[in-house]
Amino acid sequence: MKATVAGAPVSFGVFELTPEGAETLSPDAMLRILADSDYRGVDLGPLGFLGEGDVLRRRLAEYDLSLAGGWVQLPFSDDDAFAASIPSLHAALRVFSDAAAAGPARLPLPTLADDGSVARRGAPGRGEEVDPLAEAAWERLIANAERAADIVRAAGFEPTFHHHAGTFVESPAEIDRFLANVNVDLTLDTGHLFIAGGDPADAVRRWGSRINHLHLKDVDLAELRRVLAAGGGMPEVWSSGSFVAFGRGDVDLAAVMDAIAAQDYDGWIVVEQDVLNGPDVSLSAFQRDRAADQQINRDALRIWA
């Protein structure tokens, strides 16, 4: 298999929902951990976290890492909100162009995702029950996802679409409908599929020819179920420690990777262990724990990549 393994800021508590003012690892500390653990790429994280232009290029070159992808969340089911969000998509694409200017062997994939709703984000895995999407809204979602894909391709990149808990493309049935109607391939996220009641290894067999990006997570299913049963939303899932180092959870990593290898997958494998560092955790201890986990995660994949 020709896959390339990347890490992600979300594994270090840095992503769009990181609390304002929270103390986080610096970009260089994070990239040093990834480089020392033999990762070959990194996801973008929040726009600006890794820098832009020459700053971004120098930073990636210093640690011999390429940009793997980056999260671009858009309100696809709302025409007016989608139109207002297009400048943010162009801004993200400029950063992708910055990173790709040196001509890496494997280009990053702008990772499109739906914005979902407050109700869905508060009830991950139960979106179709708490906030079903009307037929007209589905038609808008499909049309706007195609428009976003056209913008991405016009910038010289191939898009990918990330199903995600708390959005309008969450469950296996919603993923099926999206793939049947939109000419964009899939970022398979093993953790978010688990939340939505899917089986990751079966998902590879089901959608394998449409998977062009992989976000690989392990999940402590007992902890996840505890959080969801208590009424927790995605912030509670992220802060609970439900996403664990490979081998410590319930995702059958070998089955997923064997199925991916059988598809002759040739793309990025982005290791994600979504965490939020609590206010009472020292940054040095947090950094030490994250470094240990990312080494475990990288070593677990060496059979395949």
Cα–Cα distance between 39 and 166 in angstroms, integer?
A: 29
pLDDT for residue 9 is more than 80: yes
Cα–Cα distance between 156 and 98 in angstroms, integer?
A: 12
Dihedral pair phi/psi, residue 279, rounded to 5°: -65, -20
Q: What would the mean pLDDT of 194-199 be, rounded to a whole number?
A: 93
pLDDT for residue 89 is more than 90: yes
Across the chain, what does the average pLDDT equal? 94
pLDDT for residue 189 is more than 90: yes
The DSSP code sequence of 130-192 is: HSPPPHHHHHHHHHHHHHHHHHHHHTT---EEE--TTSSS-SHHHHHHHHHH-S-EEEEEHHH
Tokens at 41, concatenated: 């790429």
pLDDT for residue 22 is more than 90: no
Diameter over CA atoms, the chain: 50
The total of other beta-carbon atoms located within 10 Å of residue 255's CB is: 15
Q: What would the mean pLDDT of 218-238 be, rounded to a whole number?
A: 92
Query: What pLDDT sits at residue 277?
Result: 77
- pLDDT-derived band of residue 20, with 50, 70 and 90 as boundaries? low
Query: What pLDDT sits at residue 168?
Result: 98
Q: What would the mean pLDDT of 257-278 be, rounded to a whole number?
A: 93
Q: What would the mean pLDDT of 236-249 be, rounded to a whole number?
A: 93
- pLDDT-derived band of residue 19, with 50, 70 and 90 as boundaries? low
Within 13 Å, how many C-alpha atoms sit on residue 181's CB side?
Answer: 16
Structure confidence by residue, pLDDT tens digits, 96-109: 999 998 778 899 99
Q: What would the mean pLDDT of 181-189 be, rounded to a whole number?
A: 98
pLDDT for residue 16 is more than 70: yes
Structure confidence by residue, pLDDT tens digits, 130-179: 999 999 999 999 999 999 999 999 999 999 999 999 999 999 999 999 99
pLDDT for residue 214 is more than 70: yes
Domain segments of the chain: what residues? 2-302
Query: What pLDDT sits at residue 158?
Result: 98
Within 13 Å, how many C-alpha atoms sit on residue 254's CB side?
Answer: 1
Select 2-302's CATH number: 3.20.20.150, 3.30.450.20, 3.40.50.720, 3.40.50.300: 3.20.20.150
- pLDDT-derived band of residue 282, with 50, 70 and 90 as boundaries? confident
pLDDT for residue 276 is more than 90: no
Residues belonging to the chain: 305
What percentage of the chain reaches a pLDDT higher than 90?
88
Structure confidence by residue, pLDDT tens digits, 44-86: 999 999 999 999 999 999 999 999 999 999 999 999 999 999 9
Read off the pTM: 0.96
Strand partners, 214: 188, 269
